[in-house]
Amino acid sequence: MIIIKLGGSVITDKSQYRKFNQERVSKLCKEIKDSGLEVLVVHGAGSFGHVLARQYGLQNGFSSNDQIIAAAQVQYDTRDLSQMIIKEMLSAGIPAVSVAPGSCFVMNNDKLIATDTEAIERLNKLGIMPVTFGDVVTDRTKGFGICSGDQLMEVLAELFDIKKVIFVSDIDGLYTADPKTNKGARLLGSVDPEMLQKIKSESGVDDVTGGVLSKVEAMLRMSTKNRDCVLVNGTVDGRLGALLRGETVTCTIARGGTK
């Protein structure tokens, strides 16, 4: 089984509140369907979650009653986004249902804890794809917190027999520096813990492409001797499909784990 994360930067326009990229999602769903592979999907919240979460500091936990309506609104928005994605999956012939992370997971001081995954496992055994997503969930210590799609990927990779992990983003992969500001930035075809540490020490965290550094760290935690984790650009038509078919594509592969 393969697990795919559809990043918020691909499925939404992060600069505009609740801006869904329906055309792109439709293409990605068709590429997944055409692969014929057994797949699990997680998606980010994009502008359906990040805008209000940032505005009200939801990632820091409960501190004011003003946050309550915002937390509720984010949960409404992310579920709305998830249903939009499910609609595209059904149109592509993928039997999928949305599963809110708060129904299966809680957090404890930002650490994601699986409390009841039976429904997800049973759906999968039936041949129905459970699709979960980044969202606001309750936190035993902080009241609530932000459960990211990347965190869900890590938990699901342990729950299921996952052979490959794919992160679909709006960039080609990990660069040695931010290619938008540094013309000398090089795309890395593969990365291991030692190489990542070298990039961090030479370039500085702020110089590496956006939030991709923490994503690659998560990828390395999920990689094993028998499981590669791939970062691929989902804004390029056909690239995800080619990767699923086993073709060589432009991407970054995380190998070897963090140990």
Q: Which of 34-43, 182-191, 195-204 has the highest mean pLDDT?
A: 34-43
Given a cut of 90, is residue 256 above it in pLDDT? no
What CATH code would you report for 169-259? 3.40.1160.10
pLDDT in tens, 87-113: 999 999 999 999 999 999 999 999 999
3-state secondary structure 76-98: HHHHHHHHHHHHHHHHCCCCEEE
Q: What angle do CA 39, 151, 176 make, to 5 degrees?
A: 95
Q: Residue 252: CB partners within 8 Å, gap ≥ 6? A: 172, 173, 174, 187, 188, 189, 190, 191, 216, 230, 231
Residue 206: which pLDDT band, with cuts at 50, 70 and 90? very low
Same fold, 1-162 and 169-259: yes
Residue 201 has pLDDT above 70, yes or no: no
- Cβ-proximal residues to 151 (8 Å cutoff; 6+ apart), any chain: 112, 218
Q: What pLDDT score was predicted for residue 177?
A: 78
DSSP string spanning 202-240?
Answer: HH-GGGSSTTHHHHHHHHHHH-BTTBEEEEEETTSTTHH
In this prediction, residue 59 has a pLDDT band, given cuts at 50, 70 and 90, of very high
Q: Please state which CATH class domain 1-162 belongs to.
A: alpha beta
Q: What is the rounded average pLDDT of the residues 42-59?
A: 95
| pLDDT reading at 245 higher than 70 | yes
* Residue 199, pLDDT score: 72
Among residues 158, 138, 157, 159, the alpha carbon closest in space to that of 147 is found at 138
Helices and strands in the chain, H and E counts = 9, 12
Share of the chain above pLDDT 70, in %: 94
Confidence category of residue 212, pLDDT binned at 50, 70, 90: confident
Cβ atoms of 32 and 4 closer than 8 Å: yes
Give 136's strand partners: 146
- Predicted confidence at residue 208, as pLDDT, reads 42
DSSP 7: -
Query: Domain segments of the chain: what residues?
Result: 1-162, 169-259
> What amino acid occupies position 32?
I
Q: Report which of 79, 126, 60, 137 is spatially closest to residue 104, judged by C-alpha positions.
A: 137
Q: What is the mean pLDDT of residues 29-37?
A: 97
CA 135 – CA 130 distance, rounded (Å): 15
* Mean pLDDT across 127-155: 95
Question: What is the arithmetic mean of pLDDT over 165-194?
Answer: 87
> pTM higher than 0.85, yes or no?
yes
Tokens standing for residue 126: 């039936």
At 198 the pLDDT is 77
pLDDT at 51 over 90: yes
